[in-house]
Protein backbone atom coordinates (compact mmCIF):
# COMPACT_ATOMS: atom_id res chain seq x y z
CA UNK A 1 0.00 0.00 0.00
CA UNK A 2 3.05 2.28 0.12
CA UNK A 3 2.61 2.76 -3.63
CA UNK A 4 -0.79 4.32 -2.93
CA UNK A 5 0.52 7.43 -1.19
CA UNK A 6 -0.65 9.57 -4.13
CA UNK A 7 -3.76 7.48 -4.63
CA UNK A 8 -5.24 8.00 -1.17
CA UNK A 9 -5.27 10.97 1.20
CA UNK A 10 -3.49 8.90 3.89
CA UNK A 11 -1.41 5.76 4.21
CA UNK A 12 0.25 3.61 6.86
CA UNK A 13 3.17 6.06 7.14
CA UNK A 14 0.97 9.10 7.75
CA UNK A 15 -1.10 7.08 10.25
CA UNK A 16 1.99 5.99 12.20
CA UNK A 17 3.24 9.59 12.16
CA UNK A 18 -0.15 10.73 13.45
CA UNK A 19 0.01 8.21 16.29
CA UNK A 20 3.40 9.50 17.43
CA UNK A 21 2.11 13.07 17.20
CA UNK A 22 -1.09 12.55 19.20
CA UNK A 23 0.03 9.85 21.64
CA UNK A 24 0.81 12.32 24.48
CA UNK A 25 -2.74 13.68 24.31
CA UNK A 26 -5.08 10.76 23.54
CA UNK A 27 -6.24 7.79 25.61
CA UNK A 28 -5.09 4.37 24.39
CA UNK A 29 -8.61 3.02 24.69
CA UNK A 30 -9.27 -0.45 26.10
CA UNK A 31 -10.65 -3.50 24.32
CA UNK A 32 -13.56 -5.13 26.14
CA UNK A 33 -14.95 -8.63 25.67
CA UNK A 34 -18.13 -10.35 26.78
CA UNK A 35 -18.75 -14.09 26.91
CA UNK A 36 -22.49 -13.36 26.80
CA UNK A 37 -22.21 -11.39 23.56
CA UNK A 38 -19.83 -14.00 22.13
CA UNK A 39 -22.46 -16.64 22.83
CA UNK A 40 -25.26 -14.57 21.28
CA UNK A 41 -23.23 -13.77 18.15
CA UNK A 42 -21.44 -17.10 17.77
CA UNK A 43 -18.13 -15.24 17.36
CA UNK A 44 -15.37 -13.79 19.51
CA UNK A 45 -16.05 -10.05 19.68
CA UNK A 46 -13.50 -7.43 20.68
CA UNK A 47 -14.91 -3.99 21.44
CA UNK A 48 -12.52 -1.07 20.88
CA UNK A 49 -13.99 1.47 23.30
CA UNK A 50 -13.59 4.87 21.71
CA UNK A 51 -16.51 5.95 23.89
CA UNK A 52 -13.77 6.27 26.55
CA UNK A 53 -11.67 8.59 24.36
CA UNK A 54 -11.21 12.23 25.37
CA UNK A 55 -14.32 14.10 24.28
CA UNK A 56 -16.27 10.86 24.44
CA UNK A 57 -15.58 9.74 20.86
CA UNK A 58 -12.93 8.72 18.32
CA UNK A 59 -13.11 12.17 16.71
CA UNK A 60 -10.50 13.57 19.11
CA UNK A 61 -7.80 11.55 17.37
CA UNK A 62 -8.28 13.20 13.98
CA UNK A 63 -8.94 16.66 15.40
CA UNK A 64 -5.84 16.45 17.56
CA UNK A 65 -3.69 15.35 14.62
CA UNK A 66 -5.05 18.16 12.42
CA UNK A 67 -4.42 20.85 15.05
CA UNK A 68 -0.93 19.58 15.87
CA UNK A 69 -0.08 19.52 12.14
CA UNK A 70 -0.62 23.30 11.79
CA UNK A 71 2.38 25.58 11.70
CA UNK A 72 2.54 28.19 14.51
CA UNK A 73 1.38 31.06 12.30
CA UNK A 74 -1.67 29.11 11.10
CA UNK A 75 -2.50 27.84 14.56
CA UNK A 76 -2.41 31.30 16.15
CA UNK A 77 -5.42 32.36 14.05
CA UNK A 78 -7.43 29.41 15.29
CA UNK A 79 -9.52 26.71 13.65
CA UNK A 80 -13.09 26.54 12.39
CA UNK A 81 -15.45 23.73 11.50
CA UNK A 82 -19.15 23.12 10.98
CA UNK A 83 -20.46 20.12 12.90
CA UNK A 84 -23.51 19.08 14.87
CA UNK A 85 -21.70 16.48 16.90
CA UNK A 86 -18.53 14.86 18.12
CA UNK A 87 -16.11 16.55 15.70
CA UNK A 88 -17.20 19.93 17.03
CA UNK A 89 -16.36 19.00 20.63
CA UNK A 90 -13.18 17.19 19.60
CA UNK A 91 -11.85 20.19 17.69
CA UNK A 92 -12.73 22.54 20.55
CA UNK A 93 -10.82 20.31 22.98
CA UNK A 94 -7.81 19.89 20.67
CA UNK A 95 -7.65 23.66 20.19
CA UNK A 96 -7.98 24.30 23.92
CA UNK A 97 -5.02 21.99 24.65
CA UNK A 98 -2.92 24.07 22.24
CA UNK A 99 -4.22 27.39 23.55
CA UNK A 100 -5.76 28.49 20.25
CA UNK A 101 -9.33 29.60 19.43
CA UNK A 102 -11.89 27.22 17.94
CA UNK A 103 -14.89 28.61 16.04
CA UNK A 104 -17.61 25.99 15.83
CA UNK A 105 -20.56 26.48 13.49
CA UNK A 106 -23.40 24.43 14.96
CA UNK A 107 -26.72 23.85 13.17
CA UNK A 108 -29.92 24.48 15.10
CA UNK A 109 -31.33 21.23 16.50
CA UNK A 110 -27.94 19.69 17.29
CA UNK A 111 -27.96 17.28 20.29
CA UNK A 112 -27.75 19.32 23.50
CA UNK A 113 -25.16 17.04 25.11
CA UNK A 114 -22.81 17.56 22.16
CA UNK A 115 -23.25 21.34 22.11
CA UNK A 116 -22.62 21.38 25.87
CA UNK A 117 -19.32 19.57 25.23
CA UNK A 118 -18.23 22.27 22.75
CA UNK A 119 -18.97 24.99 25.29
CA UNK A 120 -17.26 23.02 28.10
CA UNK A 121 -14.08 22.81 26.03
CA UNK A 122 -14.07 26.53 25.31
CA UNK A 123 -15.26 26.44 21.69
CA UNK A 124 -16.93 29.59 20.37
CA UNK A 125 -20.35 28.45 19.14
CA UNK A 126 -21.81 30.20 16.09
CA UNK A 127 -25.30 29.02 15.17
CA UNK A 128 -26.49 28.27 11.64
CA UNK A 129 -29.63 26.87 10.11
CA UNK A 130 -29.80 23.07 9.90
CA UNK A 131 -29.08 22.88 6.16
CA UNK A 132 -25.60 22.05 4.88
CA UNK A 133 -25.62 25.17 2.70
CA UNK A 134 -26.25 27.37 5.74
CA UNK A 135 -23.52 25.60 7.73
CA UNK A 136 -21.01 26.10 4.94
CA UNK A 137 -22.06 29.71 4.37
CA UNK A 138 -21.63 30.64 8.05
CA UNK A 139 -18.31 28.78 8.25
CA UNK A 140 -17.04 30.67 5.17
CA UNK A 141 -17.98 33.95 6.82
CA UNK A 142 -16.11 33.01 10.00
CA UNK A 143 -13.06 32.02 7.93
CA UNK A 144 -13.09 35.36 6.18
CA UNK A 145 -13.47 37.34 9.41
CA UNK A 146 -10.89 35.47 11.49
CA UNK A 147 -8.34 34.06 9.03
CA UNK A 148 -8.69 30.74 10.85
CA UNK A 149 -8.08 27.32 9.27
CA UNK A 150 -10.98 25.07 8.23
CA UNK A 151 -10.75 21.55 9.66
CA UNK A 152 -13.28 19.36 7.84
CA UNK A 153 -14.92 16.65 9.97
CA UNK A 154 -13.78 13.79 7.72
CA UNK A 155 -12.68 14.82 4.21
CA UNK A 156 -9.11 15.69 5.24
CA UNK A 157 -5.96 13.56 5.13
CA UNK A 158 -4.93 14.67 8.62
CA UNK A 159 -8.30 13.60 10.00
CA UNK A 160 -8.21 10.24 8.19
CA UNK A 161 -4.67 9.59 9.48
CA UNK A 162 -5.68 10.39 13.04
CA UNK A 163 -8.69 8.07 12.94
CA UNK A 164 -6.52 5.29 11.50
CA UNK A 165 -4.56 5.15 14.75
CA UNK A 166 -7.47 3.15 16.18
CA UNK A 167 -6.51 0.20 13.95
CA UNK A 168 -2.83 0.47 14.94
CA UNK A 169 -3.81 0.07 18.59
CA UNK A 170 -6.48 -2.57 18.05
CA UNK A 171 -4.21 -4.88 16.03
CA UNK A 172 -1.50 -4.49 18.66
CA UNK A 173 -3.96 -5.27 21.45
CA UNK A 174 -5.56 -8.25 19.63
CA UNK A 175 -3.36 -9.82 16.93
CA UNK A 176 -5.74 -12.61 15.84
CA UNK A 177 -8.35 -10.49 14.09
CA UNK A 178 -10.32 -11.65 11.05
CA UNK A 179 -12.50 -8.58 10.54
CA UNK A 180 -13.19 -5.11 11.89
CA UNK A 181 -16.69 -3.64 11.83
CA UNK A 182 -16.77 0.15 11.66
CA UNK A 183 -19.62 2.71 11.54
CA UNK A 184 -19.71 4.68 8.30
CA UNK A 185 -20.93 8.19 7.61
CA UNK A 186 -18.57 10.64 5.92
CA UNK A 187 -15.98 7.88 5.83
CA UNK A 188 -13.08 9.41 7.78
CA UNK A 189 -13.07 6.71 10.45
CA UNK A 190 -13.44 3.69 8.20
CA UNK A 191 -10.93 5.08 5.66
CA UNK A 192 -8.27 5.42 8.33
CA UNK A 193 -9.05 2.02 9.85
CA UNK A 194 -9.04 0.28 6.45
CA UNK A 195 -5.76 1.86 5.32
CA UNK A 196 -3.99 0.95 8.55
CA UNK A 197 -5.47 -2.51 9.06
CA UNK A 198 -4.98 -3.74 5.49
CA UNK A 199 -1.39 -2.49 5.48
CA UNK A 200 -0.66 -4.45 8.65
CA UNK A 201 -2.76 -7.51 7.78
CA UNK A 202 -3.86 -7.63 4.10
CA UNK A 203 -6.25 -10.54 4.66
CA UNK A 204 -8.35 -8.69 7.24
CA UNK A 205 -11.93 -7.81 6.24
CA UNK A 206 -13.26 -4.30 6.78
CA UNK A 207 -17.03 -4.14 7.10
CA UNK A 208 -19.03 -0.91 7.26
CA UNK A 209 -22.17 -0.58 9.37
CA UNK A 210 -24.71 1.99 8.18
CA UNK A 211 -28.32 2.97 9.04
CA UNK A 212 -30.90 2.09 6.39
CA UNK A 213 -32.23 5.64 6.74
CA UNK A 214 -28.86 7.06 5.68
CA UNK A 215 -27.54 4.37 3.36
CA UNK A 216 -25.58 6.48 0.87
CA UNK A 217 -22.39 4.40 1.33
CA UNK A 218 -24.19 1.16 0.49
CA UNK A 219 -25.77 2.78 -2.56
CA UNK A 220 -22.42 4.28 -3.58
CA UNK A 221 -20.69 0.89 -3.40
CA UNK A 222 -23.35 -0.62 -5.68
CA UNK A 223 -23.25 2.30 -8.13
CA UNK A 224 -19.46 2.58 -8.16
CA UNK A 225 -19.69 6.34 -7.57
CA UNK A 226 -20.68 8.71 -4.77
CA UNK A 227 -24.44 8.78 -4.24
CA UNK A 228 -25.86 11.52 -2.04
CA UNK A 229 -29.28 11.28 -0.44
CA UNK A 230 -31.77 14.17 -0.51
CA UNK A 231 -32.91 13.25 3.00
CA UNK A 232 -31.70 11.04 5.84
CA UNK A 233 -33.78 9.67 8.69
CA UNK A 234 -32.12 7.72 11.49
CA UNK A 235 -31.70 7.80 15.24
CA UNK A 236 -27.93 7.62 14.66
CA UNK A 237 -27.33 11.38 14.41
CA UNK A 238 -23.59 10.85 13.93
CA UNK A 239 -24.13 8.82 10.73
CA UNK A 240 -26.04 11.24 8.52
CA UNK A 241 -23.15 12.72 6.49
CA UNK A 242 -22.23 11.82 2.91
CA UNK A 243 -18.94 10.41 1.66
CA UNK A 244 -16.26 12.89 0.58
CA UNK A 245 -13.98 12.84 -2.46
CA UNK A 246 -11.04 11.83 -0.24
CA UNK A 247 -12.83 9.09 1.70
CA UNK A 248 -14.77 7.55 -1.21
CA UNK A 249 -11.73 6.04 -3.02
CA UNK A 250 -10.74 4.19 0.17
CA UNK A 251 -14.29 3.00 0.80
CA UNK A 252 -14.62 1.95 -2.84
CA UNK A 253 -11.36 -0.02 -2.89
CA UNK A 254 -10.80 -1.31 0.65
CA UNK A 255 -14.16 -1.73 2.38
CA UNK A 256 -15.34 -5.29 1.79
CA UNK A 257 -19.03 -4.81 2.47
CA UNK A 258 -21.62 -2.40 3.85
CA UNK A 259 -24.30 -3.80 6.18
CA UNK A 260 -27.38 -1.60 6.61
CA UNK A 261 -29.42 -1.68 9.81
CA UNK A 262 -32.88 -0.59 10.87
CA UNK A 263 -33.08 1.86 13.76
CA UNK A 264 -34.75 -0.81 15.91
CA UNK A 265 -31.66 -3.04 15.47
CA UNK A 266 -29.39 -0.16 16.45
CA UNK A 267 -31.45 0.55 19.57
CA UNK A 268 -31.38 -3.12 20.58
CA UNK A 269 -27.58 -3.20 20.20
CA UNK A 270 -27.35 -0.01 22.24
CA UNK A 271 -29.39 -1.66 24.99
CA UNK A 272 -27.03 -4.67 24.98
CA UNK A 273 -24.03 -2.37 25.33
CA UNK A 274 -25.61 -0.80 28.40
CA UNK A 275 -26.97 -3.98 29.98
CA UNK A 276 -24.27 -6.54 29.11
CA UNK A 277 -21.07 -4.58 28.41
CA UNK A 278 -21.99 -1.91 30.99
CA UNK A 279 -20.82 0.76 28.55
CA UNK A 280 -22.61 3.98 27.59
CA UNK A 281 -22.71 4.29 23.80
CA UNK A 282 -24.65 6.52 21.43
CA UNK A 283 -26.64 4.95 18.57
CA UNK A 284 -23.82 5.59 16.08
CA UNK A 285 -21.44 3.76 18.42
CA UNK A 286 -23.66 0.70 18.83
CA UNK A 287 -24.27 0.08 15.13
CA UNK A 288 -21.24 -2.22 14.76
CA UNK A 289 -22.68 -4.67 17.26
CA UNK A 290 -26.05 -4.41 15.48
CA UNK A 291 -24.33 -5.37 12.23
CA UNK A 292 -22.69 -8.49 13.68
CA UNK A 293 -26.00 -9.62 15.20
CA UNK A 294 -28.00 -8.96 12.01
CA UNK A 295 -29.34 -11.73 9.79
CA UNK A 296 -27.61 -10.21 6.77
CA UNK A 297 -24.26 -10.78 8.48
CA UNK A 298 -25.05 -14.13 10.13
CA UNK A 299 -26.47 -15.66 6.95
CA UNK A 300 -23.76 -14.41 4.60
CA UNK A 301 -21.39 -17.27 3.74
CA UNK A 302 -18.64 -14.75 3.00
CA UNK A 303 -18.25 -14.05 6.73
CA UNK A 304 -18.45 -17.60 8.11
CA UNK A 305 -14.67 -17.79 8.52
CA UNK A 306 -14.59 -14.50 10.44
CA UNK A 307 -14.37 -15.83 13.99
CA UNK A 308 -12.51 -12.98 15.71
CA UNK A 309 -14.19 -9.65 15.05
CA UNK A 310 -13.20 -6.17 16.19
CA UNK A 311 -16.04 -3.72 16.71
CA UNK A 312 -15.36 0.01 17.03
CA UNK A 313 -17.64 1.55 19.68
CA UNK A 314 -17.13 4.96 18.14
CA UNK A 315 -18.70 7.24 20.74
CA UNK A 316 -20.67 7.59 23.94
CA UNK A 317 -22.17 11.08 23.77
CA UNK A 318 -25.83 10.36 24.22
CA UNK A 319 -28.34 12.77 25.76
CA UNK A 320 -29.61 11.01 28.89
CA UNK A 321 -31.77 13.89 30.11
CA UNK A 322 -35.02 11.99 29.60
CA UNK A 323 -33.59 8.97 31.43
CA UNK A 324 -32.73 11.00 34.55
CA UNK A 325 -36.11 12.75 34.35
CA UNK A 326 -37.84 9.35 34.30
CA UNK A 327 -35.97 8.35 37.47
CA UNK A 328 -37.07 11.57 39.19
CA UNK A 329 -40.70 11.15 38.14
CA UNK A 330 -40.78 7.56 39.44
CA UNK A 331 -40.04 8.68 43.02
How does pLDDT run along the chain (331 residues), one tens digit per residue?
444 445 899 999 999 999 999 999 999 999 999 999 999 999 999 999 999 999 999 999 999 999 999 999 999 999 999 987 889 999 999 999 999 999 999 988 887 888 888 999 999 999 998 777 888 899 999 999 999 999 999 999 999 999 999 999 999 999 999 999 999 999 999 999 999 999 999 999 999 999 999 999 999 999 999 999 988 899 998 898 899 999 999 999 999 999 999 999 999 999 999 999 999 999 999 999 999 999 999 999 999 999 999 999 999 988 777 667 766 766 5
DSSP alpha helix (H) spans, the chain = 12-22, 35-41, 59-68, 72-76, 86-98, 112-120, 132-146, 157-173, 188-200, 216-223, 248-254, 263-272, 283-293, 295-298, 321-329
Whether the predicted model's global pTM rises above the 0.85 cut: yes
Task: Tell me which DSSP letter residue 275 carries.
Answer: I
- Of residues 66, 74, 129, the one with CA closest to residue 93: 66
Contacts of 18 (CB under 8 A, 6+ apart): 61, 65, 158, 161, 162, 164, 165
Residues labelled as active-site residues = 59, 84
Q: Which H or E run contains 128?
A: strand 124-128
Amino acid sequence: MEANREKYAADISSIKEAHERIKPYIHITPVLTSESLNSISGRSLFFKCECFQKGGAFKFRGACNAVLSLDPEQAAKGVVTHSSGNHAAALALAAKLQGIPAYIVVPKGAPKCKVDNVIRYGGKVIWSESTMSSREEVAAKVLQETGSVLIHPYNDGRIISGQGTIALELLEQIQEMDAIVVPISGGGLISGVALAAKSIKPSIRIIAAEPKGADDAAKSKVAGKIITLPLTKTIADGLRASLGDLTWPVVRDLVDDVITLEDCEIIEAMRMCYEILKVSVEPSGAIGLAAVLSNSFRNNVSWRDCKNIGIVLSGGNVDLGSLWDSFKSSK
